[in-house]
Amino acid sequence: MKFEAIERFIMHLHPKKVSVQSIAFNRTFGLGGINALLFVILAITGILLRFSYVPTVEGAYDSIQYLENEVLFGRWLRNIHHFSAHLMVFTSFLHLVRVYYSHSLYRKRAKNWIYGLILFLMVLFFNFTGYLLPWDQLAYWAVTVMTQLVEYIPFVGKAMAQALRGADTINGHTLLNFYNLHTSLLPIAMLVFMSLHFWLVRMAGGVATPAGVQREMVDTRKSLVPREALVAMIVIAALVLVSAVFNAPLEEQANPAVSPNPNKAPWYFLGAQELLLHLDPLFSAFIVPMLVTVLFFALPYFKYDQINSGVWFHSERGKILTIESSVFAFVYTFALILLMDYVLKTAMSGLPVWFAGGVIPVLLYVLPFAAFIFYKNKKQQLQTAELFQIIVSSVLTSYIVMMLVSQFLRGEGMKLFV
């Protein structure tokens, strides 16, 4: 095996020299590289899965069973694809979080933040389309929940859901649509955006590091490449092992007549499903997600009084504010969910939906955070970057709480156990 050839290929992606500061593990945690590696693993295992997968209503489920029981290492291959896909949602999210909190998204990196967000949406879309392919009960009904979420978008939602499904309900056309999106269109789009993303990292002069620190340059081949190889080996070993021990779920064949109870979306969409339980669909499937998306896309472009590129949490005070707002959001979101479920829903049952399922819960959520920010600003004169850090931390934490509640505390009929 010629390692030199591999090394030469890798060197096309890197400059000859990198700074010691930019390759410190606690700067990137290797997360961008891990995402790239996971995509390669998914592409290889995905292409191999195509050899036995049949994208028809009659054939899909049987082809997965055949793959698992008859094909040599078939089950293991499917498991690797399954676990890598879920891991990639997690590591892309962590990468987004690391880029944001290390303040590496401003000025010349702003465009790359946008490409990154598009990559994140693609990872979600990959998972969404892949989810249907096994054509078991889990796949059918989880995708039903998700396409219903799309339907709630005003004006265009119905047409979008119809275009996605290729029909009024999920059927063979949907399966073929998803299969083609998943195995041809999305991989090409992902490759294009990943290439642009890497190129923009190079164009920005590599990973952001704090200004004013003397940059010490070292040979990439001797410093960064061996570390990348080590991280890659650990990730591959972990995936191979986990896939040998645990199996990707496969329930009974999809049955459009029998809906499971509770019918839950995949874990990463559970926050959105939880929101649907509390708010009118116009708010939960459109207004709130739209506002959050616009906030994330606009983050690098607000007017900041000071930008500390590459400095974790902007400042020491920024770090404390992040911790405080996250803890507050964790406790308050949980309390609000309980309050909505046990008290307010019955108390507001006679009121119009836009009020009881929109204005009231939104105000109940926003006002305490506004009071928190107002109080902190009065005491400490917050900088813009710190202010947005409070908002982003609160939104991210609230989503995580909703995901956890929906996953672990909701049972039949999506009722709370607690």
Binding site for ligand HEM (CB under 6 A): 28, 31-33, 35-36, 39, 42-43, 46-47, 49-50, 53, 64, 78, 81-82, 85, 88, 92, 95-96, 99, 104-105, 109, 112-113, 116-117, 119-120, 123, 126-127, 130-131, 133-134, 182-183, 187, 194, 197, 201, 204, 207-208, 248
Nearer to ligand HEM, 71 or 338 (CB): 71
Min CB(100)–ligand HEM separation in Å: 7
Nearer to ligand HEM, 200 or 402 (CB): 200
Nearest to 67 by CA among 85, 46, 53: 53
Nearest to 152 by CA among 272, 298, 40: 272
For residue 220, the one-letter residue type is T
Nearer to ligand HEM, 240 or 339 (CB): 240
Contact assessment for residue 306 and residue 106, using Cβ atoms and an 8 Å cutoff: no
Task: Tell me how crowded residue 233 is: count the other CB atoms within 10 A of its CB.
Answer: 10
Residues contacting 205, CB < 8 A, separation 6+: 108
Q: N- to C-terminal Cα distance for the chain?
A: 58
* Residue 57 DSSP symbol: T
Residue 58's beta-bridge partner residues? none
Nearer to ligand HEM, 32 or 318 (CB): 32
Nearer to ligand HEM, 82 or 165 (CB): 82
**DSSP result, 336-403:** HHHHIIIIIHHHTTTS-HHIIIIIHHHHHHHHHHHHHHHHHHHHH---HHHHHHHHHHHHHHHHHHHH
How far apart CA 6 and CA 8 sit, in angstroms, is 5
Nearer to ligand HEM, 138 or 373 (CB): 138
Nearer to ligand HEM, 266 or 281 (CB): 266
For the record, the structure tokens of 215 come out as 């940059």
- Residue showing tokens 């390692």: 3
Nearer to ligand HEM, 99 or 392 (CB): 99
For the record, the structure tokens of 166 come out as 């290729």
How far apart CA 386 and CA 390 sit, in angstroms, is 6
Min CB(84)–ligand HEM separation in Å: 7
Element (H, E) at 78: helix 74-101
